[in-house]
């Protein structure tokens, strides 16, 4: 079927654009939904991967911080690296082999305002460690008891153990 030049011009200038517009109107809702579905799954995957990376990074930062604090304690002029096990028992004063819990041997400080360090509960472990050096052994023991019964921060407990073992030498 041969079209006349007028029919060809009408096809190109009128019918083709109209057909394209009609096709767009028919397929646009389906195309937009298909795009949303594809993007939504990619966003969910990105969120999952991002959450995983953030959690892993936080774990690595915490491990690095713990190692750094340990190195500071070891090499920062605070003596040799202490053992990580702090014994919660002491022997009886009558030299028997029976061991009693530390909490029965000396009273626990039940309130932070009874401690020798002001605003104890508001301080970070590193701030507390800096303040321990000038305290007496009984004051250190009271802080140790309080720390064990509350937040049990290893950095503080290790430093107290170092200071009390030095005092007994």
Instruction: Please give the Cα distance from 14 to 77 (Å, whole number).
Output: 89
pLDDT (tens digit per residue) in 30-40: 887 888 888 88
Distance (Å, whole) CA 81 – CA 99: 26
Q: Which tokens hold the place of 12?
A: 């190109």
- Print pLDDT tens along the chain (169 aa): 688 888 888 888 888 888 888 888 888 778 878 888 888 888 888 999 999 999 889 888 888 887 787 777 666 544 444 444 344 444 444 444 444 333 333 344 557 777 888 888 888 999 999 999 889 999 999 999 999 988 999 999 999 999 998 877 6
pTM value is 0.38
């Amino acid at each position: 079927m041969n079209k006349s030049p007028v029919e060809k011009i009408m096809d190109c200038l009128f019918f083709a654009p109209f057909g394209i517009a009609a096709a767009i109107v028919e397929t646009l809702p389906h195309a937009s939904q298909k795009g949303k579905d594809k993007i939504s799954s990619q966003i969910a995957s990105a969120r999952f991967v991002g959450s995983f990376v953030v959690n892993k990074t936080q774990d690595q930062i915490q491990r690095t911080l713990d190692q750094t604090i340990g190195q500071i304690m070891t090499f920062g002029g605070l003596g040799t690296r202490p053992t990580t096990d702090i014994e919660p028992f002491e022997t009886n004063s009558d030299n028997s082999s029976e061991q009693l819990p530390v909490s029965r041997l000396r009273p626990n400080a039940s309130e932070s305002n009874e401690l020798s360090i002001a605003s104890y509960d508001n301080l970070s472990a590193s701030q507390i460690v800096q303040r321990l050096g000038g305290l007496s052994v009984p004051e250190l023991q009271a802080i140790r008891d309080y720390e064990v019964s509350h937040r049990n921060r290893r950095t503080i407990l290790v430093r107290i153990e170092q200071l009390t073992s030095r005092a007994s030498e």
